[in-house]
Amino acid sequence: MTSPTPNKATVTNTSCLIALESIARLDLLQALYQNVVIPPAVASEWGTPAPQWVKVIAIQNQALAQALRMQLGPGEAEAITLAVEISANRLILDDQRARSIATSLQVPVTGTVGIALRAKQQGILPLVRPIFDDLRAAGFWLSDALYQQGLQLAGE
């Protein structure tokens, strides 16, 4: 584990890592965010050795993490805790309850769908529909409403 990272890092939870890895598009995270960090619980849940561009950083505020674990899984709890501790630029979460809690703690959040949309906006992806379809095919739960909203936002 490395020492705390400078501000303006992006913290991610496990679901995004697993989803993007399952469709061989983990490169989107690297292309969009230069400083990606995860807490140990996310590294453990992911189960894949983190690439060099993803740094694992231990959380310090165990009291906050423990309080969050009463409502969330370990990865989500530690990801939110780490994002608060380092004043992260953003936190990537897909779970609605976790997103709501992070937002209440003033942590800016996005999700896997938001990553695809941002990648299209920046010209990294020509279309988001194939990404959404691949995610669904790989077992990533993406509601019809969010799927349609994502396509609408992407102009597809």
pLDDT at 8: 82
pLDDT at 49: 87
Question: What would the mean pLDDT of 45-58 be, rounded to a whole number?
Answer: 91
At 53-86, the pLDDT tens digits run: 999 999 999 999 999 999 999 999 999 999 999 9
What Cα–Cα distance (Å) separates residue 36 from each residue in 29, 63, 74, 76? 8, 24, 19, 15
At 126-146, the pLDDT tens digits run: 999 999 999 999 999 999 999
Q: Residue 50 — pLDDT band, cuts 50, 70, 90?
A: confident
CA distance 72 to 101: 9
